[in-house]
Structure 1
Amino acid sequence: MARGLPQKEEEEARKSRLQLAIANDDVDELHNLIREEPKLLDRLSNDPFPNTPLHLAAAAGKTQMAMEIAILKPLFRRKLNSEGDSPMHLALQFEHYQTVRALMTLDHKLIRVRGRCGFTPLHYVAKKEGENELELLAEFLWACKSSIEDLTSRCETAVHVAVQNSNLEAFKVLFSWLKRAYLTEILNWKNEDGHTVLDIVDLKKRNNAECEKLTKISDLLTRIQITDRLVGYFRLNPSGCQDLAEESRPPPGNFSLSRYLRKELTVLEKYLIWFNHQNESARNIILLVATLIATASYQAGLSPPGGYWGDNSSNSPVNSTVVTANSSGIAVEKPHKAGDLIMSGKYLHQFTVLNSLVFMASIITIWSHAIPLLPDTLLVYFLVDIVVAAYFCTATIAFPKSDAATATLIVGFFMGLLSVVLVVPGSLWLNIFTNKLRLRADAIGRHVGNSLESKDRK
């Protein structure tokens, strides 16, 4: 007994030293203690629901110590204490957002750890109001897309929680994210009482009819139609609210994820959503038919009716006794060169224009299905462009000399149309893609030391 007492006192002394090291964010002292007692961290975390050293460091906002312990003992990251809180939950409760972001860089799935009543860190920030919490909410969504599907013990998503707390700004972030992530069906999920998000809004409005926030949430929900076949169809804003109709533009300068997600979708983003939700079988059929039409019209452009002259002729119509053109407008024994088109005049112009329109329509159809899959279809996007250019060059190079001016006009018109169809959607998509990369880097790639740029952030 006497021999055990000094050992117990020594263990208590190490525990006190560890607590002091956590308070001072002293990583070196932590390793000194581990060298003295390799099982120190395990000994202090033997309880079924322990308050581990990582819990203490996260609650105190000691980021360096929290990171070191989380690296040494990865199992501590998901441990719940007797209050049902994980280390990230505690860091959120005490508003140590730098520590939260640091832990997120180690394991983004910590966002999905369920604490008391099944609340995840995402549920927690969806409940709280404030710019810092909104920014974290947006970062959580970018870092872990599937976290939006997590349910509390009452079968509530983060959207339900935001509406229950009348948190309009958090709802805007979540609502915009659901549209961009093609997960708007979550708005139809029901909690344990069988209520959807819109049902909750209606119930709360009955008790508080003057609540402006709930009215705006209701307006947002009524602007989207959720069906099995078409997700992303938007009706006009019935309230005429100007801020809801504002066009979405990626924020300049220092990006803010929460401000970006609270803005309305651009026309191109809505287009991408529509095509991404198109039935895959139907999309394959459309692409197959468009490819066949493009092939047929391309072949027709290179092998027009009447074909090409096989020899040169300098016969002058004045000296020739042969009729210069028949009733079909096909030139007969007019001066020509081998390789020139036999068809000429208005029939040649009509054929070329109509065939080119069919060809361009099929190419545009292929492009419209390739844009949502960029950058994976970038090569296809530009290869089709080269094919179109080759088509018009080869289709008009054999025009008779008398039709050269018309050939130039046809090529100029369709190449201009080609440029618009190719460059405009491509540049819009590139702008969105570039900004999304920057936003994602801001959300999950920032360094802990400079993750909080403004003084008012915690």
Structure 2
Amino acid sequence: MDQRSFQAAAKSGNIDQLYELIHEDPYVLDKIDNVPFIDTPLHVAALAGTTEFAMEMMHLKPSFARKLNADGLTPLHLAVDHGHFWLALELVKVDPSLVRLKGRQGMTPLLLAVSKKKIDLISEFFLVCPKSIVDANVNGENALHIAVKNNEPREGVLIVLKVLMGWILRLCQKDAERTETRVMNCRDKDGNTPLHLAAYHNNHKAMRLMLKSSNVNVNIENKNGLTVLDVAVLLRREGNRWGSWCGVERVVKWHGGKRSASLVKSKTTSDILGSKLTWCESRRTRSIRSYSWISEERRNALLVVATLIITATYQTVLQPPGGVSDSGESSNATSNVTTSGEKAGSVVMDDGDFLWLWIWNSVGFTFATLLTVSLLVSGQESGFWYLPLFIPLLLAYDAAGQVISPNKTVNDKGNLVCFIILLIWVLLVWFWDRLQSKRAKARGPKSGLVWEGFTTLDQARGVTPSKKSVIM
């Protein structure tokens, strides 16, 4: 079949002619699809801007949309390059992943839209395919690199850069912070970040836009060992406009920029892996492994139980058994027991009973609180940000205990014994870890699969694996 007939139908948008050609040869589209690099009818329609024909072809042969022609371009690349806005939108509505298809030199349709300053298309592509912001070409250049390099005219660059930064700073996905870090600190083939390029071009406004990101690293070195501040100083010394480059230096220094010579020598990944495992690293690894087996349902159940224990133990402090006295001396009419309370609000029970109540109630309250924090972080992150939730509760618990205690000596004794019990528990967990670690080396049936850690007898029997220890 004459390929020119198909091209003529695609250019004119003649759908009737398309089906006439299919009537003549039902396998014609499959024959075109079998050619590795070819201008399909969809390519021709995208180039000509015949939207209805393109969408008809898109539904007949969706694979054409992902095919590269001899120039290394997909139909969406052609639509973007020739400014066919509505045709491009119709294509991505059918398949949003087309935005991330890499063509010639690794350019995606999004990167091409950035280089062509197609503002409206850039924003539409972000809406339909948010992850496309991380894509880079074969030179390692992402959308920010291209926007900064494409510096003619300057105002056009700023408009594109404003759109890109506006999207990056508004990301709220689960991995938004990681995505922002990847984009802002991406290095091209020369090791330059977008901020390096802005410094090379003496583009103050572009630098200020990118420095709004809290995840941008101003002290990354390129392959020549130059930081952004090094670039500014070097170009100033080469005779470029003194006042202008001093302004760049001030901006970079204000955001923590330093010369490469003044940076603390950082360890490589090999240095870290080859170093001795610290105690903190060991405990964190054990914690992550310990909690990785817990299913989401069991984790939620444990959180509910821990919350109930916290509530019950805290309520015991607020409303102790027998109530509290109204004055320093109070007698119980039924039991004829006189308390030794020295202040109003102390418990109506003798010192020994209160001491045991305070010890075990405090142990339960502390363990439940620690378990809650451990389950919240699950060993994956620092518990620092959860401390404001629990430290005020612990302080209020201790303050309430001081109020209801018969005297300060009893309260101090209770706190000391509680601390000793917690310390003993930590030592027991540590001892049990060591014991189980030694037993595990000789434990289990004589089986190659068990010895190699491939399976266990309990797993084969369908028994839920039990943990060696609980990390608090």
Q: TM-score under structure 1 normalisation?
A: 0.48
Higher relative contact order (CA 8 A, sep 6+): 1
Q: TM-score under structure 2 normalisation?
A: 0.47
